[in-house]
Amino acid sequence: MSKRLYGLIVPLITPFKEDLSLDIDALKWLVEYLVKNNVDAIFPVSTTGEFPSLTNSEKIKIVEVVREYTPTNIKVIAGISSTSLYEAVDLALRFKDLGVDSLISTPPYYYKGNLDGVKRYFRMILDRIEIPLILYTIPQYTGIDIPPELIKELVMEYDDLVGLKATVDSMIYFRKIIQLVKPIKKDFNVYSGIDEYILPLILIGGDGAVSALAHITPNLHKKMIEALFNGELAKANELYNIILDIKRIYDISKSVSGAIKLTLESFNTPIKRFVRPPLTDENLDNIDRIRSILSRYRDKIVLYKED
């Protein structure tokens, strides 16, 4: 069995005030809440965290706060995705100085290039950073997938390439990654960015999840993943189906980031619904619809308080 680096990774939302400035107090609350719920790793400057809408100074401030309020037994994985190779490297070195445990990067997402260009991009990052890196394929946003064969090539060249987050609607893709890469690097970790694939991915040899929904259900995600690795398939399947039912909050929302923020606001946490353009704030009328979806699981969701 491969060595699992993290298990449950939460791609952190970025809390904003009504004027769309960073809400550092809310960020501190959020990190402490996730820490109390024993997530394995926190991933600031993520897609869920609206990283393309952040300035570099804001990214650095966010990572600084997350690292300060996260104990060393919970890992910090900082996002360095960028349209610019040199910006990505600069952020990587700054985050390394702040003490993050690893980094995560998509391919560049404006000039798509070709696969040789993508390979060169990641090689030039890996040659410069000397800290573990997780690749992140999310073709619906970058316009390019990272082929399993390319990942295999890079893994054979770089010890610091330690894992992959894949937000792809394909079990075939996950199967190819596991069959091609794990035989040459058994501790290469493969994570699903889509909740529907967490259970089947782990059953075929994957290593965990990067789940935005785990902001709402960190305990359920953690228990499901632990049950899978312990061979408790009936328990895992029960939790899996609860998670997928709760995921219906996305169906009534404009964006994943907005759905998570509005749900947290509905529980009277310090997090507010505000997102930066081009995303748009969720309608407050949806709070009742979200609470209706979650109400049947009030004994299983840690955010629930007695009314």
Listed in order, strand segments (DSSP E) in 66-194 are: 75-79, 102-105, 133-137, 161-166, 189-192
Reference 5, options 207, 210, 166, 229; nearest CA is: 207
Q: What is the pLDDT of residues 279-302, one digit of tens each?
A: 999 999 899 999 999 999 999 999
For residue 259, being part of any structural domain is answered with no
Q: Would you call 136 a catalytic residue per the annotation?
A: yes
Q: pLDDT band for position 35 (50/70/90)? A: very high
Q: Which of 59, 75, 152, 165 is catalytic?
A: 165
Domain contains 235: no
165 belongs to the catalytic site: yes
Q: What is the DSSP letter of 210?
A: E
Share of the chain above pLDDT 70, in %: 98
Whole-prediction pTM value? 0.95
Let me know if 300 is a catalytic residue: no
Does 154 map to a domain?
A: yes
Domain range for residue 90?
8-230
Number of domains within the chain: 1
pLDDT band at 1; cut points 50, 70, 90: very low
pLDDT digits (tens, 9 = 90+) for 96-136: 999 999 999 999 988 877 899 999 999 999 999 999 999 99
Neighbours of 278 (CB within 10 A): 9
**CATH number of the domain to which 201 belongs:** 3.20.20.70
Residue 247 lies in a domain: no
Note whether residue 290 is domain-resident: no
pLDDT for the residue 3: 52
In this predicted structure, what is the pLDDT of residue 2? 42
Backbone angles phi, psi at 102, to 5 degrees: -165, 175
Which residue in 14, 33, 47, 75 is the catalytic one? 47
Asked if pLDDT for residue 5 goes beyond 80, the answer is no
Query: Mind listing the pLDDT tens digit for each residue in 191-211?
Result: 999 999 999 999 999 999 999
Q: Can you give the length of the chain in residues?
A: 307
Residue 302 lies in a domain: no
pLDDT at 16 over 60: yes
- Structural tokens at position 251: 């169906």
Average pLDDT, stretch 172-201? 97
